[in-house]
Structure 1
Amino acid sequence: MAETDFKYLPVNPADVEHVIQFMSMVYPVSQELMNELHAHAICLRLESGEHLLRQGGLCHYMYFIREGALLAYSEHKKKKITTYISVENEFVSSLSGLYAQQPSLEAIVAVEPSLLVGVHTDKLLEWYQRFFDLNFIVRKVYEAYYRDAQERAHLVRIGNATERYRYFLKSKPGLIERLPLELIASFLDMKPETLARIRKQQAVMPRDAAHAAIVAHVEQCFRQEKTFKRKSIKIGSLAEQLGIPAYKLSQAINAHCGLSFKDFLNQFRINYLKQQLAEPDNLQNFTIESLALQAGFTSRSGFYSAFRKVEGISPKEYIALHALETQLI
């Protein structure tokens, strides 16, 4: 099936808003670009096993996965080689065949019922000429893709099967229970029976190692995408973004950090705020309350209460103490 054979559906404005919110975590999206996305986005539903693109086909769209999971594979000497797996809140397209300039080196197929929001690549090329924000966001998406691809290629070449399995658990939390083992085995360049054996062996590893991997994934998201700054963030929305069941995310934070999600989030915000306070110019140009709002707190009282709970002193006492320490250095 070619892309042109699909019957695209009217897009739900709420799904486009979701894509915009995700993009805004990378870089602020201009109102003009928002309007263009609402005007030109399309929607596509795929059943499990249905191809988005065949190997050798031309790719005319960049897609955002609203729901579900897709994988890309190439066929070589009658063997299917999985090249990547993408799930909700990730972009997917054929990099080799993007912009329909040459045949795709890989096929893309849904491995779960999936809902995609897409934009035609002709529009993307037009928007690149007009919108810096889109250029920046797409560059960051490509950087993340190539970074992951390079890390995986490195592990496949020199890492053993167990190291590749642990890499998958860390980089794709929650997917080992969600996707068929034969697909994951192909992605990790091992036989399904090898993966099954390693998975059984690793099941006896301390549970905290799995919790630590999830927490590390959350912290990476916070650092790279500044997700903690979103005032409306809830554990459910964060879990959806990361592709982790909310109960597992809550369990990991509680077990590994000894904190509720709210306290974990506030601790991260306060650590970020302390970094801002270490910059001399910040307190000259901003009040501590305005810096707290930038860090994601929604009220002065909530910020002061959280700060005292984490640091044991008030924000003003912390600033005074920090100023004194600076004078003594």
Structure 2
Amino acid sequence: MDTNSPNNDLVIFAEEVNKRVNVSVAEVDQFLSLWEIREYKRNELILRAGMIPAFSMFVLNGCLRQYVVSDEGRESVVYFAEERHFIGDLPALRNKVPSDFNFQAIEPCRVLVLTKDNWEQSSIRFPWWMEAHIKGYQKWAINMQQQIADMQLKSGEERYLELLKRRPALFQRVPQHYIASYLGLTPETLSRIRKKLTNG
């Protein structure tokens, strides 16, 4: 199957929508008319903190990272978006305020984007989309809360093992220093953890 075909894009997107709400493929196809496909090169910065976001994204192919930068210049990854993941700063997008986040393509990426204007249209023309969005956003918020709690309650090794269990593919496609940043570790500490576990 051609993974870059419009038909395959429809199937992938419809499958993800139907995890949240029950809607026909024909309806999703109409909804996709509000989205457009964009491609980004490896390491390309898609949105820089301080900018007002112009769109939200759904990943068709590739992997992106969402991260913040401290006043001291230290990067902290807060989210990785692989295939079938939504990513963006929707509150900043809808309120037309600068985002605190940076978004970067880790690999060459092919994404669907929904602009602010089309987002407003979608809520009017496709009411089921708001229900789907709310369910997805609630799940994301719960995961973020758990991530914050884990930083305080679990050891670096425990966080590493849990991420390895939940999202093993990340370790094959994301540089180790990004993984370390996401886990709240230094690359050196992550390297020691991996060596310890490998050596038993």
Compute the TM-score of the two structures, normalised by the length of structure 2. 0.88
Q: Would you say the 8 A contact 1:59–1:100 is kept in 2?
A: no
Q: Would you say the 8 A contact 1:74–1:105 is kept in 2?
A: yes
1:193 matched to 2:162: no
1:92 matched to 2:87: yes
Give the fraction of aligned pairs with identical amino acids, expressed as a percent.
25
Which of these two proteins has the greater Rg computed from alpha carbons? 1
1:153 pairs with one of 141, 148, 151: 148
What secondary structure, in the 3-state scheme, does the structure 1 residue paired with 2:42 have? coil
How many Å apart are 1:137 and its aligned residue?
1.1
Paired residue for 1:38?
32
Paired residue for 2:130?
135
| Counterpart Cα distance in 2 of 1:143 and 1:129 | 21
What secondary structure, in the 3-state scheme, does the structure 2 residue paired with 1:203 have? helix
Q: Would you say the 8 A contact 1:16–1:41 is kept in 2?
A: no
| Counterpart Cα distance in 2 of 1:96 and 1:80 | 22
Please identify which structure carries the higher helix content: 1
Render the CA deviation track for 1:116-152: whole Å, top value 9, x for unaligned: 0122222222222343321121112111211111111
What is the aligned residue count? 195
How many Å apart are 1:195 and its aligned residue?
0.4
CA separation of 1:93 and 1:200: change in aligned 2, threshold 3 A: same
What secondary structure, in the 3-state scheme, does the structure 2 residue paired with 1:115 have? strand
What secondary structure, in the 3-state scheme, does the structure 2 residue paired with 1:26 have? coil
Letter in 2 for 1:94: D
Render the CA deviation track for 1:136-182: whole Å, top value 9, x for unaligned: 21112111211111111001122211111122113322212321100
Q: Would you say the 8 A contact 1:63–1:119 is kept in 2?
A: yes
- 1:249-288 alignment, distance < 5 Å: none
| Counterpart Cα distance in 2 of 1:39 and 1:181 | 38
How many Å apart are 1:28 and its aligned residue?
1.6
What secondary structure, in the 3-state scheme, does the structure 1 residue paired with 2:28 have? helix
- Give unmatched runs, 5+ long, in structure 2: none
How many Å apart are 1:29 and its aligned residue?
2.0
CA separation of 1:176 and 1:30: change in aligned 2, threshold 3 A: same
How many Å apart are 1:14 and its aligned residue?
3.2
How many Å apart are 1:24 and its aligned residue?
1.6
Letter in 2 for 1:21: E
Compute the TM-score of the two structures, normalised by the length of structure 1. 0.55
| Counterpart Cα distance in 2 of 1:117 and 1:13 | 13
CA separation of 1:36 and 1:61: change in aligned 2, threshold 3 A: farther
Structure with the bigger RCO (C-alpha within 8 Å, sep 6+) is 2
Paired residue for 2:61?
67
- 1:112-131 alignment, distance < 5 Å: 112-131=107-126
2:6 pairs with one of 4, 9, 12: 12
| Counterpart Cα distance in 2 of 1:150 and 1:143 | 11
Render the CA deviation track for 1:224-266: whole Å, top value 9, x for unaligned: xxxxxxxxxxxxxxxxxxxxxxxxxxxxxxxxxxxxxxxxxxx
CA separation of 1:27 and 1:198: change in aligned 2, threshold 3 A: same
What secondary structure, in the 3-state scheme, does the structure 1 residue paired with 2:84 have? coil
| Counterpart Cα distance in 1 of 2:122 and 2:34 | 11
| Counterpart Cα distance in 1 of 2:198 and 2:153 | 24
